[in-house]
Amino acid sequence: MNDVGQMEWLLWLGIGMLLFAQSTGLFLHARSRGRKAWFWGLWGLTNFPSPLLTYLILQTWNARKQKRQTKSTGDHPEGETKDG
């Protein structure tokens, strides 16, 4: 019985450490990019891996969006448009 209780305690400790690490990583990365750091940090404490996957998908989407905007404005001089 003692082994089962100790294993359960270690499992809960591991889950807590995993959630804390995820939360800290999301918070620090979001803070460095200026994107609602407290939201991501708190949501990272609630479950795993949904907040992490959502954050990565949104970061990829935003990076592609910015790349497209930079590319579309950088190709043409001001006032000039591209046909077609």
Q: Where are the domains of the chain?
A: 19-72
Q: What residues of the chain score a pLDDT lower than 50?
A: 84
pTM summary value:
0.74
CA angle 52, 42, 40 (to 5 degrees): 45
Q: Name every residue whose Cβ is closer than 8 Å to that of residue 25 and which is 6 or more positions away in sequence.
A: 44, 52
Q: What is the DSSP string of the chain?
A: -HHHHHHHHHHHHHHHHHHHHHHHHHHHHHHHHTS-HHHHHHHHTT-SSHHHHHHHHHHHHHHHHHHHHHHHHHSS-TT-----
- Which two structure tokens, joined as six digits, stand for 37? 């750091």
- pLDDT 10s digits, 9-30: 999 999 999 999 999 999 999 9
